[in-house]
Amino acid sequence: MKKLLALTLALLFTVAAFAGCADKPASNSDAPVAQYKGQYDVLKMGTNAAFPPYEYKDGSNFVGIDVEIADAIAKELGATLEIVDMEFDSIITAVEQGEVSFGMAGMTVTDERKEQVDFSASYATGVQSVIVAENSEIATLDDLSGKKIGVQLGTTGDIYSCDDFGEENVTKFAKGADAVLALKGGDVDAVIIDNEPAKSFVAANEGLKILDTDYAIEDYAIAIKKGNTDLLDDINAALEKLTADGTVDNIIAKYIKAE
């Protein structure tokens, strides 16, 4: 009985201690919370900041959904976030070689990529969309056969287009925006890219539209070097907390207005 009382008291003290902690304002300089496995000073995020609304530049600042979620994760882990901007196609290698702590770039989880890196829990859904000129005769996915398709190099849009419509029909660009420029100039007949960047590009360029078709539905997640399980677990735990307390939803709602 005494033991039970002691246990109950111990539990009460623990709860009180945690409640006390929760009042502290979060800041990057806060020491990492004990529940995390690693100690982090700086976390480097490898990304391609040409993919609105997930990551892009506003003047010289990096902004977007991924940037803000990564910043919230870093804060939660007591670290400062550093952004390393690179071609999308280089991100997985940079993660594998430890040049960055993680890759976050509206990156779709695929079986091939899973052989190279580990993925966190998914924090968002992406849909591959088709952009065409407003007056295009292309109305369905079937109409794409034999047409010239523009994609961003190394993306799932690139991989699926080559598989389904033949590599000879696919032109690969370093940036999605360059593929869209080629579409405007008539060098390609369609661009296959994730739906939210597609909406941004169509809003920023006259005379384009998105076909009413979901080419592929995908999960976005954070890529972490294989074997770096402490960081993987810590990012997942931080993500879980930031999802539960509404932070992730608030960030997404800030950039993607409900339709």
Contacting positions for ligand GLN (CB under 6 A): 48, 51, 88, 105-108, 126, 152, 155-156, 194
Q: What CA–CA distance (Å, rounded) separates 225 from 143?
A: 40
Q: Smallest gap, in angstroms, from Cβ of residue 207 to ligand GLN?
A: 23
Among candidates 254, 200, 248, which has minimal Cα distance to 70? 248
Q: What CA–CA distance (Å, rounded) separates 239 from 121?
A: 8
Radius of gyration of the chain (CA): 22
The residues with which 172 forms a beta bridge, in sequence order, are: 151
Q: Smallest gap, in angstroms, from Cβ of residue 10 to ligand GLN?
A: 47
Residue 79 or 188 having the CB closest to ligand GLN: 188
Residue 65 or 79 having the CB closest to ligand GLN: 65
Residue 78 or 106 having the CB closest to ligand GLN: 106
Residue 78 or 197 having the CB closest to ligand GLN: 197
Residue 55 or 76 having the CB closest to ligand GLN: 55
Among candidates 200, 45, 80, 69, which has minimal Cα distance to 122? 69
Q: Smallest gap, in angstroms, from Cβ of residue 76 to ligand GLN?
A: 24
Residue 80 or 213 having the CB closest to ligand GLN: 213
Q: Smallest gap, in angstroms, from Cβ of residue 97 to ligand GLN?
A: 19
Q: Smallest gap, in angstroms, from Cβ of residue 134 to ligand GLN?
A: 24
The answer to whether the beta carbons of residues 138 and 258 sit under 8 Å apart is no
Q: Smallest gap, in angstroms, from Cβ of residue 17 to ligand GLN?
A: 42
Residue 32 or 154 having the CB closest to ligand GLN: 154
Q: Smallest gap, in angstroms, from Cβ of residue 71 to ligand GLN?
A: 18
Q: What CA–CA distance (Å, rounded) separates 210 from 219?
A: 20
